[in-house]
Structure 1
């Protein structure tokens, strides 16, 4: 190959790189998500059901009121829905609960919504850092099945959901959360695994 063609091929390859890279997370993301769900206590089928419930709640919220959709975060584990975020008033909070309960497969709704202004960019950054630190602590603790927990932080309040192997494991998770700088409160919506 002549030397002049190599830079041209290299430039063409670099030009295509962003479009190729854009496809990779979709493929890897879908496979990784499936692998994670399969290794959780809830299993792949329950994980898919929970994702469908979450999607449907969000779809219905968006269709009803786009502002509510933007303000509300939904976590679903074993059909148990945890709603977090800031809504305009108590009527909005009741509406979101009603929408969540209207979706097939929902077994419980924990409404942790607060009234007030949505979190600012800096508050979201602080909350993301807390969530990341807690996730890292749980992954590093061999006495905790970290994949069985969902974490959402809103203005320093950590909301936990999922399935704990036992009370001792849940206490460890809560202790990890309380040890993180910036955590104001820990709210547990975690179920304890039934023996047998």
Structure 2
């Protein structure tokens, strides 16, 4: 019963995050932000670069497309995902081309839909799906939610992050079995187990790396 209450609380908070995003620093303070950063497999420098890239990409959307478009940019480890809706294939191509010009961008994934900008109701549903996927990732106890970014547009869930193969499978299985999800787009960067352990060790400041998994012999 207690676990159910905690999960519902988490869902409620995650649903409100897009609305309260501008207020979060004042609410949670630098300490909480520092904890989140410490559990991120990206270096603090890369995290800062990703935030700057998102800001620059938003400013690179040509004025003639802004009024009829709803475009979001998510950068993770210098790989940029573009989601939302634009009025034409031309707009979609131009926005991608402008994003590729930004210094430091390694890859661009253009998942823009061509059509009318989504309604506020649709975006609210997407935020709710986001919160459900994130809550289920936490409940799975198999992967750190800090290693995964969940971006939902038109009930299509996009997954970003630096994960090993096992974590990628868990994240994809969780997303594809979440109620309301129409499709899952996998943009995860899969790294070797030893690289994941090394990055976790560096970010958490451990003095020695965790031991490797012992081999198993069947008899």
Structure 2 equivalent of residue 15 of structure 1: none
Tell me how far apart the structure 1 counterparts of residues 29 and 96 of structure 2 sit (CA, whole Å): 29
- Give the Å deviation of 1:64: 6.7
Tell me how far apart the structure 1 counterparts of residues 178 and 36 of structure 2 sit (CA, whole Å): 25
1:66 aligns with 2:63: no
Segments of structure 1 that go 5 or more residues without pairing to the other structure are: 1-22
Q: Report the 3-state secondary structure (helix = DSSP H, G, I; strand = E; otherwise coil) of the residue aligned with 2:45.
A: helix
- Give the ranges of 4+ consecutive aligned residues of structure 1 lying more than 6 Å apart after TM superposition: none
1:113 aligns with 2:123: no
Which one has a bigger Cα radius of gyration?
1
Structure 1 equivalent of residue 169 of structure 2: 171
1:24-173 aligned at under 5 Å gives the runs 25-28=24-27, 31=30, 32-61=32-61, 65-67=65-67, 71-164=70-163, 166-173=164-171
Q: 1:87 to 1:178 in 2, by over 3 A?
A: same
Aligned residues of 2:54 and 2:75 also touching (Cα < 8 A): yes
Superposition TM-score, scaled by structure 1 size? 0.80
Aligned residues of 1:87 and 1:118 also touching (Cα < 8 A): yes
Root-mean-square deviation (CA, aligned residues, Å) is 2.1
- Give the Å deviation of 1:29: 5.1
Structure 1 equivalent of residue 180 of structure 2: 182
Q: 1:24 to 1:118 in 2, by over 3 A?
A: closer
Structure 2 equivalent of residue 17 of structure 1: none
Superposition TM-score, scaled by structure 2 size? 0.72
How many residues are paired up? 172
Tell me how far apart the structure 1 counterparts of residues 47 and 123 of structure 2 sit (CA, whole Å): 26
Tell me how far apart the structure 2 counterparts of residues 63 and 56 of structure 1 sit (CA, whole Å): 14
Segments of structure 2 that go 5 or more residues without pairing to the other structure are: 1-21, 196-219
